[in-house]
Amino acid sequence: MTINVHHVTRIEGHGNIRLQATDGRVEKVLWQVPEAPRFFEAMLRGRSWQDVQTVVSRICGICSFAHSLASIKATEAALGLTVSQQTDQLRQLAFGGEQLESHVLHVGYLVAPDLAGVKSVVPLVSSHPEVVKAVIRAHRLGNEWMELLGGRRTHPVSFRPGGFGKLPTEKELGDLKGRLMNVVQDLKLIAATVTSLAGKLPAFERPTEYVALTSPGCYTFYHGQIGSTDTPDTVAVERFEEIANEHVVAQSTAKWARWHRESYAVGALSRFKLNHAWLHPLATTTARDLGLTPACCNPYMNSVAQVVESVEVVEAALELIDQLLTRGIKAEPLRPVRPKAGTGVGAVEAPRGTLFHRYTYDDHGVCTAANVCIPTNQNHANIQKDFEALLPEVIDEEEPRVRLLFEMLVRAYDPCVSCSSH
């Protein structure tokens, strides 16, 4: 058996699957990343603190809010800026929009075709019209939600160190609330459809270390410390280099990471395993209906965890909007900033997992050093380890089936490959 998938389709960026086996003996099993590296950490040197978010947002078109928010948190930490509760809550609200948009895009447009046995979402428009319409509506809502809070749906412009350049009105937040209440029906339909197709997900289990931000009492995407299923202790985000241990391997232009084991996983499944106790009620029920349990070690179930999180972010957003409207939106103009030398870290849970940015500024607020560690970097080694465990299990199956199982495994991680070769 020889399988060479040169550039896996329906993922972000370029990755290859290389498998070779003779008489049931594995000879080669590789997850390769040949993506052109872009050198963002070098590009940031010499940039003003005011322009850093503009640059790093371009690391990833699909999670530009995650990069922008991690970036602004890092710059604020470095310059010693604090923000109001209103700013903090509006950012969390904005970020929910990106989780919904990204998860629905992944599950609805990229994973669903595999479950239905087709090559793209296009045939599903006629075979599954109702659920495709629900996917489109939920995806568009995610986008318009982002646009309202971030000023634009890709590469936001409203988030600024210290606060917001433009605030939503109370009326706009009220309208968003109404639309969020309506999208719950669509999410229920999507979840029911995924439940009916979940049997198509391979029953493959490989326990690994699962890592996510954690903050007791909250299913967090925006605050918290680094948690792991391998240790009860959490680690401050300022020490992220010590847990990620990024290193270069010959099969990938994107760095790999490892902590307690040879590899670890980040993303929706990791967040669910660490933080499930704090899901909102409907998200908890959705997880139960989908058969997702905290003991799950099946990487293919990451897409299912994304469905649960899509419900979670809508419930959390409804709560945030109520709190914001009860207090009323206050103008809060940006205050002048006096730059100072310093270093700061910002961390968030991007849709695909934990994201870290570190910047050092000189006393003119010019960036002199940067380090960015991306979720997919932290997943690459884990994908490789999954490959190594999966191939012996399926080695006797037909080649097209093996190829599909490996492609589906890569897609399950929702990898952002060009992001990881930043």
Partner 1 sequence: MKKLRMAIFDFACCEGCQLQIVNMEEGLLDLLDIVEPVEWREAISDQSEEYDLAFVEGSITREEDEQRLKDIRQRARILVALGACAVNGGVNRLKNAPDMDEVRRCVYGNSATMPHLATAPTKAVGEVVKVDFEVRGCPMSRREFTYIVRCLAAATTPVVPTYPVCVECKLRETVCRYEFNEVCLGVVTRAGCNAPCPAGGQWCYGCRGLVDDPNVNGAKDIMDKYGKTVADLRSRMELFNSVEARQCQGQ
Q: Report d(CA 123, CA 145) in Å as an integer.
A: 28
Q: Pick the closer one to Fe ion by CB: 43 or 282.
A: 43
- Contact yes or no for 283/312 (Cβ under 8 A): yes
Q: Which of 84, 127, 130, 166 binds partner 1 (CB under 8 A)?
A: 166
Q: Pick the closer one to ligand SF4 by CB: 159 or 256.
A: 159
Q: Report d(CA 119, CA 106) in Å as an integer.
A: 14
Q: Which of 114, 22, 15, 21 is nearest to 388 (CA)?
A: 21
Residue nearest to ligand SF4 (CB): 58
Q: Pick the closer one to Fe ion by CB: 138 or 372.
A: 372
Number of chain residues interacting with ligand SF4 (CB under 6 A): 2
37 is a contact residue toward ligand SF4 (CB under 6 A): no
Q: Report CA 399 to chain centroid distance, whole Å.
A: 31
Q: Which of 58, 177, 223, 280 binds ligand SF4 (CB under 6 A)?
A: 58
Q: Which of 14, 43, 55, 61 binds ligand SF4 (CB under 6 A)?
A: 61
Q: Pick the closer one to ligand SF4 by CB: 86 or 154.
A: 154
Q: Pick the closer one to Fe ion by CB: 283 or 372.
A: 372
CA atoms within 13 A on the CB side of 46: 3
Q: Pick the closer one to ligand SF4 by CB: 13 or 299.
A: 13
The interface region with partner 1, picked from 56-64, 190-198, 276-284, 300-308 by CB under 8 A, is: 56-64
13 is a contact residue toward partner 1 (CB under 8 A): yes
The interface region with partner 1, picked from 37-45, 83-91, 177-185, 232-240 by CB under 8 A, is: 37-45
Of residues 360 through 399, those in contact with Fe ion by CB under 5 A are 372
Angle, CA 54 vertex, CA 49 and CA 56 arms, to 5°: 90
Helix (H) or strand (E) holding 303: helix 302-327
* Tokens read off for 177: 């609330």
- What character string, x for contact with partner 1 (CB under 8 A) and - otherwise, covers 239-278? --------xx-x--x-x-----------------------
Of residues 303 through 342, those in contact with partner 1 by CB under 8 A are 334, 336
Q: Which of 16, 20, 30, 34 binds partner 1 (CB under 8 A)?
A: 34
Task: Classify residue 227 by its DSSP letter.
Answer: E
Between strands 25-32 and 159-160, the pairing is unpaired
CA-CA-CA-CA dihedral for 261, 266, 270, 275, to nearest 10: 110
> Beta strands of 195-322 (E only): which ranges?
209-214, 225-228, 231-235, 264-265
Of residues 278 through 307, those in contact with partner 1 by CB under 8 A are none
- Contact yes or no for 357/67 (Cβ under 8 A): yes
For the bound state, the minimum distance from the C-beta of residue 110 to ligand SF4, rounded and expressed in Å, comes to: 18
Cβ-count burial 230-266 (b if 16+ within 10 Å, e if not)? eeeebbebbebeebbebeeeeebbbbbbbbeeebbbb
* Tokens read off for 83: 């923000």
Q: Coil, strand or helix: which one is 333? A: coil
End-to-end distance of the chain based on CA atoms, in angstroms? 34
* Tokens read off for 57: 């947002």
Q: Pick the closer one to partner 1 by CB: 283 or 367.
A: 367
419 binds, among Fe ion, partner 1, ligand SF4, none (CB under 5 to 8 A by kind): partner 1
For the bound state, the minimum distance from the C-beta of residue 66 to ligand SF4, rounded and expressed in Å, comes to: 15
Q: Report d(CA 257, CA 373) in Å as an integer.
A: 9
Q: Which of 237, 283, 321, 419 binds partner 1 (CB under 8 A)?
A: 419
177 binds, among ligand SF4, partner 1, Fe ion, none (CB under 5 to 8 A by kind): none
Angle, CA 66 vertex, CA 376 and CA 56 arms, to 5°: 85
Of residues 103 through 162, those in contact with partner 1 by CB under 8 A are 105, 109-110, 113, 119-122, 125, 136, 139-140, 143, 150-158, 160
14 is a contact residue toward ligand SF4 (CB under 6 A): no
Q: Which of 99, 134, 132, 130 is nearest to 113 (CA)?
A: 132
Q: List residues near ligand SF4 by CB under 6 A.
A: 58, 61
Q: List residues near Fe ion by CB under 5 A.
A: 372
Q: List residues near partner 1 by CB under 8 A.
A: 7, 9-14, 34, 36-43, 45, 47-48, 51, 54-55, 58-62, 64, 105, 109-110, 113, 119-122, 125, 136, 139-140, 143, 150-158, 160, 164-166, 247-248, 250, 253, 255, 334, 336, 418-419
